[in-house]
Structure 1
Amino acid sequence: MPKAYAYTHNGGPETEAFIERDRPEPGPGQLLVAVRAAGVNPVDWKLRNGFRRPGAPETPLPAVFGSEIAGEVVALGPDVTGFAVGDAVFGNPVGGGYAEYALLPASIAAHKPEALSFADAATLPVAAATAYDGLRQLALPTGSTLLITGVGGGVGVAAAQIARAFGLRVVGTASEGKKDFVEALGALHVPSAGGALADRVRAAAPGGTVDAVFDLVGGEVLAEVAELVEDRTKLITAADPPAALKLGGSPVQRARTAEVLDEVAKLVLSGALRPHVTATFPLQRAADALRTVEDGHARGKVVIEVGR
């Protein structure tokens, strides 16, 4: 039977296990995809810990990890148009993606360009699409300065590159060990450790000011850097929506469309966006892949590759 990596109840890594399940049957408007690659994201372990998105129903257990995949269509559900068996696709699965097979809503799935690898495509539906949506939401004019907190992670790496492609100057906070990596993205690095973060950002930013903040850390970091922008419509977060709302900012407004996936894929093919897949693991080492992200050791993106 096909295998998948899941958590059996809410808690820590001890709740994780491989499970065997029947091959899913695609329902109306769904694609059944043979997974070739699955992106690993912080939200994966956060959901295991008990985090629930506002308004989201309780997740049936065991729950398969993973919210972005790339693979090949092996079956079509009723009422699906625009796709055929054998098509290479990528998108956000329903029911998890750390698996040999996954279901993908056809309405928000995108065709994978031939020149885009499965591993790179699997990094786009969450990290790159979140970055793209956030930057479109900020709608900054060319030449503006953007601060990205936590720029060394998956969303931050994509956001820095897309911002540069949009003609923005980027200042990014990250650990001292990621300085060279951050600067390679075309961003000005500000060490994240230590006090007076806002002052260090002012010292690094051109002219001593930033025009917007794209937060990927939340908590005290978000609260401190919020003071850098007077117009709180230019304060957004993908990490801590409740805190951003209290500060007058807002969460990233996700479009979740195939059109956005097409756009970020074009950015990759043009060379403006490098997915920066820095570690890959086979499905049987899904636990190691997740630990790499959960322990904060990842630079860029971690991908699980499913052998065929």
Structure 2
Amino acid sequence: MTTTGHVRARVGQRNVLVPLGSRRAALAGVALLTRSRAPALACQWLLYGAVAAAGPRAVPGARVRWDPPGGRARWEELAAQLGPFDHLALYERPQRSRTGLAAVLLRAGRPTGFLKLREDAGALEREHRALSAFPDGRAAGFRVPRVLGRGGAAGWHWMLIEPMPSRPAHPPRRPGVASLVGAIQRRLAPALPRPPGVPPHWRPMHGDLTVWNLRRCGTGRPWLIDWEDAGWAPPGADRLYYEATRSVVFGTAPPATAPREAAEFWLGRVAPRPSTDGDAPFNAALSAVLRDLARDGRRPAP
């Protein structure tokens, strides 16, 4: 593995580090920016075109040198398990309360895998179980990354999954959330153990079904990524979370009604999120939407 500098892209929450090693590697870094609104997507495509024409120097932001978590020796022990790569495009989690690393591994500028590195194995175990429910990486109406490898080294737990293409992605205009949620529930039911005490009417869920995790990249089926929160929840939970987060992202009207149990479930998860996280304003707006739905939403039929 070679080491080069990065540029902290002056876009959004500035949590993407674009590698300076080559034009192609820099394009992979720009593709990591998760934009959803049309103006932001247009700016991302403009930046992508500028990097394609002028190389990494077109990326606005401060030049930085990335220091591996835990130090160089610890990182080299881990890197030896991942296979050959020469550059990294890095995505730093905007939540200070959530540790870990995400990166696209690059070889000659081409993505070879998307790395997730965590101190706790629990989230990766959940994601591994969920992705194993889609052995060919496909389901009705969407696709998921295939698992390329998993292991542990130097106190870290890691998983390497199939990378998305290195080009800007966007939310699908007509995602067909109802059928998508049905497919998720059918696939996950035999793959995710039902924890003790979970009510019998709860259903499997993706756990983070949002416009930034359901992405269309060119033609074909959209990708559904980030399954670390897969689990069990009240009926309607995945669909409600998608619709509520979408309303906050795009500034549109929230759902008129929702299953009250699902709204209370999400409010109990979102409201306690730390105010020091980079996405705290978003969580505050989302909590307000969920609070209204928990108060006014319909109760499930007996």
State if a TM-score over 0.5 links the two structures. no
Higher relative CO (CA 8 A, sep ≥ 6), structure 1 or 2? 1
Bigger strand fraction: 1
Q: What is the TM-score of this pair, normalised by structure 1? A: 0.28
Q: What is the TM-score of this pair, normalised by structure 2? A: 0.29
